[in-house]
Amino acid sequence: MDMKNMVVIKNLPSNIVEEAWVVIKPEVKNKEKELIKRMKNNNLNSKTKTSYVLEEAQTVIADYLKNINSYKDKKRYDDIIKKYNKLKKVSFILFWVSLVMLILSFVF
């Protein structure tokens, strides 16, 4: 079994996400990881080290929530348009039926 570095983020300022578990890739060579390695060598406090990981995780979560919300908004918009078109057709039919009934009532 492989052990992985994991960060649990709690108390997020979100109405949707309560907590997030972030699994850090083992062999990623990017600027943030290099900076964290340098901080380890300099023996800085752990809050400074993890702030970069938290910032990256919050960015990923924000992008995910943005995509979810945009998908839901698009789906909701499409549903509203479908209902609008259906109601428009029904009201058009009912208008003509009522008009015909009114004309027939005056004729007979």
List, for residues 13-53, the tens digit of each pLDDT value.
Answer: 777 778 878 777 766 555 566 666 665 655 555 555 566 66
pTM over 0.85: no
Tokens of 21: 């578990």
- Write down the domain spans for the chain: 28-107
pLDDT of 103 above 90:
yes
Whole-angstrom distance, CA of residue 48 vs CA of residue 100: 77
Give residue 25's pLDDT. 72
Measured CA to CA, the distance from residue 82 to residue 72 in angstroms comes to 15
What is the C-alpha R_g of the chain? Answer: 29
Give the span between the Cα atoms of 72 and 16, in whole angstroms.
Answer: 13
Q: At how many degrees (to 10) do helices 31-42 and 46-107 cross?
A: 150
User: Which positions ≥6 away from 96 have C-beta within 8 Å?
Assistant: none
Q: What is the pLDDT of residue 97?
A: 96
